[in-house]
Structure 1
Amino acid sequence: MTVQRTQALAPCFHCGLPVPPGTDYTTIIDGEAKSMCCPGCQAVAQTIVDGGLDGFYRHRDTASTSGDTRLAAESHLADELALYDSASIQAEFVRHISPEQAEATLVIEGITCAACVWLLEHHLGQQPGVEQFSVNMSNHRARLVWDPSQTRLSTLFGEVLRIGYKAHPFHPNREEQLLEQENKRAIRRLGVAGVGMMQVMMMAIALYAGALQDMEARFVEFIRWSSLVLATPVVLYSARPFFLTALRDLRTRHLSMDVPVSIAIGGAYLASVWATVMNTGEVYFDSVTMFTFFLLIGRYIEMQARHRTGKAGNALMDLLPASATLLQDGLEKMVPASELKPGDLVLVRPGHTLPADGIIVEGSSAVDESALTGEYLPISKTTDDPVVGGTINVEHPLKVRITEVGANTRLSAIVGLLDRAHAEKPMTARVADRVARYFVLAVLITSATVATVWSFISPEDAFWITLSVLVVTCPCALGLATPTALTAATGTLRQQGLLITRGHVLEGLASATHVIFDKTGTLTEGNLSIQQMQPARELGSLNPYSIAAALEQASEHPIARAFQPFFKLPASSTRVQVNAGVEGEVEGIQYRIGKPAYAAELYQGSTPAQPDRQRQWLLLADHQGPLAWFALDDQTRKDAAFTLSALKRLGLEVGMLTGDDSSAAKRVADELGIDTIKQGVSPDQKLAYINQLQASGASVVMVGDGINDIPVLAGARTSIAMGSATDLAKTSADAVLISSELERLALALLVARKTRTVIRENLAWALMYNLVALPLAAMGFIAPYMAAVGMSASSLIVVGNAMRLSRLPRLRRKSSE
């Protein structure tokens, strides 16, 4: 039935507004012409239909098609969306860059493919006041930058809803629920494909063996029907995403590998069903199930990497506490941290986490900022010093005046850096998309040409010859050429203690030109230890280690952990002086340990000069004078020097980025022979430096271990986290050095280069096979079963070549190492 377009007050099918008299804008939806109020609604509706997203209209307002009811429903929805215009709600996820510019992080529900991303970005980007709207396909988050004076946020949320999606303020719990659902679906599909493939392959072996030994017809028929029963769930359930994506690609005129994959799987399956039912011709159920299973394996690995990316930022936001102690009129009140406002006064007790950014108004303490800076030593803070949300107060209570909350905090800024780094699509991925499109187009054109030619030459053979062409050109060997080599190399490196979590790591390592290291916890052990004890006077029977350890038992400072192995004697009357040291009595004698000036106050003498300035020295003293010096330092890893030397021999440039601005950074660089060093740099400065290197043509491998390294780990082409790194750093990195042995990094570079060679050999073989087999199949010299055998043989050759990567290369050592 055709919708009447002459009624002046008829509602627009897309937006629900009245259609102006005399207009004639329509879009064919579900076979009917639907009235639109303007060219804009007509264009958006046509885009939705072309993208295969017209299900949005079928599920919208199904209870009633009345114009009044629809307008009432939209009015109610507008009231709900208007809540997002509230300043208190926006404080959680909106950051105001300037009075004319605001930024929000959203999570979009309903995205299934790249076409969805294009539709969202295209539609929202055209809205008034929107300066930027970019959707990250990897984690379905969107970054919105708009002018609040021109457009309300509720209006933009409504525009997202109009084209069939739902936008929510980014919240870790909602996103993780969506990821969990996707993961369960993928595992079910993979399980069905795996079980089906194993059973069908066993029957195919019997069928091939029977063809050579004249198996009885009744057994052949039984095996064929059994294979049909087992392969059907694989095709209809496990391979369903390939068919859906192929249909969407055809509608949007955007070719991808799913188009020939779907044609090959669907064509081979239908031909096999026909051959089974009619008891004639060949069956290809083994090829269908095997191809489906291998493709699903690759996509599952890709999905897992995407999920880890999304969860990294979620865990980062979990550093903030759920509650805070608010001070009002001299009284303490526990409130949710999310309700804090700039100007509030909060009390942060020792061991508690700061709920937001602020300034200390009363108190002095040491604050553990390792979550943001990666440095293990707490920083001394006193009145008027700024503090950052997510850091930990170590020693004494602090009263803090809140300055920034929600999306404006430093922690949220790091999350923003992480999201922007992940949103950047690598050049290799864009090139691969273009190459795949041309390859798919060539396969389809070739198959269509063969079908047309043979329909004139021999119509009864046209289908089987065309199927042979599709099977023989099925991108099975091409599809396996890279994944099999990567899988073999990944397994080999996993046994050696390097866990690869993203598919591009080996490619990035093979082409790497620079390796940049963090210092603390990466090139060094990450823990303070006593490097040297130097007596300041005759000690006699005194044991300075035991005395110092007894005093340090009263402190929670990381320095105290360096003396933990020597805890034997008790101490009394201990008193910790912030940013100075510890005082107490051991066996009736009063001692001090800490900074030289602090220790000298005990014997009221001049402050002695420390032995050198390359390390941190503590002075132990009593009433008689200095007793002993202790040198504390973070020692370099045992294999660091050899690893850096091996990397240089492989032709790579080595550098160091660290937040440590002390002399220890320069000492470590000199000890390990590192020429390029950037010290005292913040997370965003690290990312800027890496981006500058990569913009100049460098291929960078970043190795780090702290939360402060998350943005740069995400921004580098290839990133590796140490096994001792924080969980957040591990989830953001492309690989994890589980063994924490740096020597494995140099080994990984050799394996990566060998993998690149094997991939090139595999691709060359697959290309040569297609160039030889395609003309033969097109001329009718290769039967479908021969094409299936040839495709399987080609795949086996590719897999066998990849297995060479199970043999480890050897690292050359100099005689001096």
Structure 2
Amino acid sequence: MSSPPVTSPSASLLAPYPPSALRDALGPAADAGARLACFHCGLPVTDTEPLAAELDGSRRVFCCGGCQALAQTLYAPGFAHLYGDEARFARPIDDDARREAEPIWAAYDTPELRAQFVRPLDSGRAEITLAPENIRCAACAWLIEQHLSRQPGVESAVANVATRRVVVRWRDGAQTVAGLLAALAGIGYMAWPFEVSRTDQQDRRARRGLLMRMAVAMLGMMQVMMYAWPIYTHEATIDPGQLQLMRWASFALTLPVVFYAASPIFAGAWRSLRQRHMGMDVPVAIGIGAGFAASALATVRGVGEVYFDSVTMFVAFLLLARYLELRVRQASRSGAEMLARQLPATCERLVATGEAGERVPVARLRAGDLIRVKAGEIVPADGAVVAGASELDESMLTGESRPVRRAAGETVLAGSFNTASPLELRITRVGAGTRLAEIVAVLDRALAEKPRLATLADRVAGWFVATLLGLAALTGLVWGLWIDPSRALLVTIAVLVVSCPCALSLATPAALAAAGAALSRRGVLLTRGHALETLARVTDVVLDKTGTLTEGRFAVAAVEPLADADRTRCQALATAMERGGEHPIARALVAAAQGNSGMSLQVSDMRNVPGQGLEAIVDGQRLRLGRADFVAALAPDSGQAPDTWRSDADHPGATVVWLGAPAGPLARFVLADVERTQTPQLLVRLRELGVRCHLVSGDHAEAVHWWASHFGIACVAGAVTPEGKRDYVARLQQGGAVVLAVGDGINDAPVLAQAQVSIAIGSGAPLAQAGADAVLTHGGVAEIATALAVSRRTRRVVRQNLGWAFFYNVVAIPLAATGLVTAWMAGIGMSLSSLLVVANAWRLLRAGKPRHKGV
């Protein structure tokens, strides 16, 4: 679906700063007015003998020594470009924008929003993360840090250019959130609080902890192998004292690997034993523990084999696989969290219609409240229009690609984007009662019903582990009672080490990691571990239309001049009238004009009639642009027959926009959604893979059937609600189909969650991505077919890896049990087996090379 722009609490404040007469102080070549402006900040210079400095051969004046020092400091390392026309910074926002922003800033100091954005620290301190809108480079970060650090009560300010975030800590009683935002605005940076959720913090802690353990294991493995290799190759020629020293060194290096890096493995094994469940951690922990204990004992006694290299290698490989699995799990997010990020944090609440309002947190809204939603803002709750008329983009909720007109008495939904004019709304439903929340509830239910393939894997693993431990115990018993009691422990350890399910445990994760890395290079990010396995079994693909197979935006499909009018002139007139407009039709007309932007035409007396069109005087001629009846009313005596004002288009779903003058119609513009460039390629490749395609959309049924015919898709359904899409997929599943769902709007979230596997278009709603198993980060939809092909190849590699792992165990365990394979040989065999599995899996990386330019 077409996505409305993601806006801050007040999108109207984010426009570029207006030009000022004091914009540049350019030295002798400038006029007298410019010489009285500070080169750095643009403020007036009142001194009769102002401070001045030579920068790049030009004389610059400054209002104070601080601005002079800062400008010289920035010029020295090569940041002079920051003073260009496009990148000039450190200039306060204009007074009108500041007056509009101040009530919003104050709202962030209310208890509701402080609890959401401000993190309390010890000793009466607080921390907040801010997101400046126009931070560009290291110089911007440096300026922000320096300026915020000088504010009362601020202890530290750290700006990150890569993430465009600023973390500020201050003494809570000495500073406010509004004060921090105002301080940034004072140097030209409009900023808003950024919510760092508890889930994000937990995810970062988990990643950091596992990365530290993996780093320790990797370093330990490399160092221990430095000592193990000479022992394997030249043990007979090494002095016994040197040999023992290398063993003690290996012992010391293995200690942190076992007791720190491998601690999650032992913890998992202990939990499994307490729950009487034989998980894969149990034999792993026994093998690591037994190998380390036997090696430590041999080191202390000075005789026997040591397996420190096998222990460290095993831990390092296992932690690497677990880290990759962790990143996949953390990529998904709950629907509730995405809902909170979809809606604005504040809104303007009114006492009575037509009066000025106050900015309050959305959390304070109650049914019956009166609010105003300006153009460019998102509706915070469900309500009815009391005053005003506008057009709202509801594509994220309903699937309708075109903005819909809403006037007095009509209902608007939370999450809709107001594209045209201010509206006054009477709130009817808030929070969990809104339509948006209902869609989220459907999403959560569908996620709960998703099949859990891990149950079968755990059951198989349990049998494998139980069998493995039984064989090891039987081997120890036989050797201890009948064969050679002195070798019983070593043979038992050899069985455990050689059969340690390293290759088995890496067989699937290694292949999934390689395939995931390959697909990520193609722009397909997997967010759930089962995605590849399920993609390999897909039989049906359910596709959304707007925003998936099509761009989800208007484009001019045809320009038809009338009454001998000039095509280029008509485009220039329409562009001049729509210049600066945010409506999708306005953007389409301006984009179609290309170089003919109509900038030279004089436009005056502009009037916007919501739902009808525009009227203005362009170069002295009164024109109208919009609906046929609206434009025709300008020329009642033109003599044009009613049939002349026809609104037929090439296909259902297209929109006809008229341009007319008092003398009659000048031109008609046909606007329609456009297909993505890779859509034909996607459909061809899906048919080659033998899957059946379905087009299911919430758009008008006539338009959906036209597009289905255009694409050659036989299975089609239009005007389908989010619940209806989910039911459509459920019916396919009842017939035995394995369904892949592809979409991008919030209304697609239930169907994405219901399907066995799903892909969300990354340009769409975050909530849709929350319910998807994979995200396509660009518009190259042909990569969806690539994901299916790679998944089938991955399935073959996984089967090969599992086959090799079982074959290795079937051969190696009897050899170890009979004493023909010693523990050190078992360690080498285990490592080689693991490396073979990994090498086979990483062949999948070759699929990451794009097949087509621009993908």
Give the TM-score band, short-chain normalised: 0.7 to 0.9
For 1:177-326, what aligned pairs fall within 5 Å after superposition?
A: 177-211=201-235, 214-310=237-333, 313-326=336-349
Q: 1:590 aligns with which of 614, 618, 622?
A: 622
**RCO comparison, higher one (Cα < 8 Å, 6+):** 2
Q: 1:699 aligns with which of 724, 730, 738?
A: 738
What residue identity is the alignment partner of 1:385? E
Q: 1:745 aligned to 2:771?
A: no
* Stretch deviating more after TM superposition (238-247 or 393-402): 393-402
Output one character per residue of 1:393-451: Cα deviation in whole Å (capped at 9) or x when no partner.
22222222212122222222233233333334524222111111111111122222222
What residue identity is the alignment partner of 1:612? A
Aligned match of 1:369? 394
> Contact 1:308 / 1:732 at 8 angstroms: preserved in 2?
no
Aligned match of 2:704? 665
What residue identity is the alignment partner of 1:203? Y
Aligned match of 1:712? 751
- What's the offset of the Cα at 1:768? 1.1
- In structure 2, the residue corresponding to 1:602 is in which secondary structure? coil
Q: 2:649 aligns with which of 612, 619, 625?
A: 612
Change (3 A) 1:205 1:736: farther
Aligned match of 1:384? 409
Give, in whole Å, the separation in 2 of the partners of 1:204 and 1:236. 20
Aligned match of 1:445? 470
Give, in whole Å, the separation in 2 of the partners of 1:207 and 1:694. 59
Change (3 A) 1:612 1:528: closer
Aligned match of 1:406? 431
Give, in whole Å, the separation in 1 of the partners of 2:739 and 2:196. 30
Give, in whole Å, the separation in 2 of the partners of 1:803 and 1:228. 32
**Runs (5+) with no aligned partner, structure 2:** 1-111, 117-194
Q: 1:521 aligned to 2:567?
A: no
What residue identity is the alignment partner of 1:694? Q
Change (3 A) 1:746 1:355: closer
- What's the offset of the Cα at 1:474? 0.7
For 1:806-817, what aligned pairs fall within 5 Å after superposition?
A: 806-808=845-847
- What's the offset of the Cα at 1:258? 1.0
Compute the TM-score of the two structures, normalised by the length of structure 2: 0.71
For 1:410-421, what aligned pairs fall within 5 Å after superposition?
A: 410-421=435-446
> Contact 1:482 / 1:762 at 8 angstroms: preserved in 2?
yes
Change (3 A) 1:172 1:783: same
Output one character per residue of 1:206-243: Cα deviation in whole Å (capped at 9) or x when no partner.
332334x6333333323322222222111111211111
> Contact 2:657 / 2:669 at 8 angstroms: preserved in 1?
yes
- What's the offset of the Cα at 1:611? 4.5
What residue identity is the alignment partner of 2:815? L
Give, in whole Å, the separation in 1 of the partners of 2:349 and 2:486. 84
Output one character per residue of 1:154-195: Cα deviation in whole Å (capped at 9) or x when no partner.
xxxxxxxxxxxxxxxxx9834444333333322322222232
- What's the offset of the Cα at 1:723? 4.2
Aligned match of 1:136? none
- What's the offset of the Cα at 1:504? 2.0
Q: 1:464 aligns with which of 490, 495, 505?
A: 490
> Contact 1:468 / 1:784 at 8 angstroms: preserved in 2?
yes
Give, in whole Å, the separation in 1 of the partners of 2:250 and 2:438. 56
Output one character per residue of 1:738-792: Cα deviation in whole Å (capped at 9) or x when no partner.
3432222222322221221111111111111111111221222211111111112
Give, in whole Å, the separation in 2 of the partners of 1:268 and 1:551. 79
> Contact 1:364 / 1:380 at 8 angstroms: preserved in 2?
yes
Equivalent pairs: percent with the same residue?
A: 43
Change (3 A) 1:541 1:354: closer
For 1:727-742, what aligned pairs fall within 5 Å after superposition?
A: 727-742=766-781
Change (3 A) 1:380 1:770: same
Change (3 A) 1:542 1:737: closer
Give, in whole Å, the separation in 1 of the partners of 2:736 and 2:248. 57
> Contact 2:387 / 2:423 at 8 angstroms: preserved in 1?
yes
- What's the offset of the Cα at 1:312? 5.7
> Contact 2:306 / 2:824 at 8 angstroms: preserved in 1?
yes
> Contact 2:347 / 2:359 at 8 angstroms: preserved in 1?
yes
Change (3 A) 1:541 1:697: closer
Aligned match of 2:582? 556
Change (3 A) 1:757 1:375: same
> Contact 2:352 / 2:370 at 8 angstroms: preserved in 1?
no
> Contact 1:555 / 1:582 at 8 angstroms: preserved in 2?
no
> Contact 2:396 / 2:746 at 8 angstroms: preserved in 1?
yes
- What's the offset of the Cα at 1:513? 0.7
Change (3 A) 1:286 1:687: farther
Q: 1:533 aligns with which of 559, 566, 570?
A: 559
- What's the offset of the Cα at 1:277? 1.9
Give, in whole Å, the separation in 2 of the partners of 1:712 and 1:316. 17
> Contact 1:583 / 1:591 at 8 angstroms: preserved in 2?
yes
Change (3 A) 1:335 1:209: same
Change (3 A) 1:440 1:356: same
Q: 1:646 aligned to 2:685?
A: yes
Give, in whole Å, the separation in 2 of the partners of 1:728 and 1:301. 24
What residue identity is the alignment partner of 2:293? L
Aligned match of 1:140? none
- What's the offset of the Cα at 1:632? 0.9
Give, in whole Å, the separation in 1 of the partners of 2:257 and 2:602. 70
Give, in whole Å, the separation in 2 of the partners of 1:764 and 1:251. 32
> Contact 2:330 / 2:527 at 8 angstroms: preserved in 1?
no
Give, in whole Å, the separation in 2 of the partners of 1:412 and 1:194. 46
Change (3 A) 1:220 1:732: farther
Give, in whole Å, the separation in 2 of the partners of 1:645 and 1:426. 30
> Contact 1:747 / 1:811 at 8 angstroms: preserved in 2?
no
Q: 1:581 aligned to 2:604?
A: no
Change (3 A) 1:508 1:325: same
- In structure 2, the residue corresponding to 1:603 is in which secondary structure? coil
Aligned match of 2:504? 478
What residue identity is the alignment partner of 2:341? D
Change (3 A) 1:738 1:308: closer
Q: When the two structures are aligned, how many residues end up with a matched partner?
A: 646
Give RMSD over aligned pairs: 2.8
> Contact 2:447 / 2:771 at 8 angstroms: preserved in 1?
no
Output one character per residue of 1:555-585: Cα deviation in whole Å (capped at 9) or x when no partner.
3211100122322234221211111211112
* Stretch deviating more after TM superposition (718-727 or 225-234): 718-727
What residue identity is the alignment partner of 1:555? G
Give, in whole Å, the separation in 2 of the partners of 1:329 and 1:646. 59
Change (3 A) 1:812 1:344: closer
> Contact 2:540 / 2:692 at 8 angstroms: preserved in 1?
yes
What residue identity is the alignment partner of 1:490? G
- What's the offset of the Cα at 1:810? 11
- What's the offset of the Cα at 1:703? 1.9
Q: 2:530 aligns with which of 504, 512, 522?
A: 504
What residue identity is the alignment partner of 2:332? T
Q: 1:546 aligned to 2:572?
A: yes
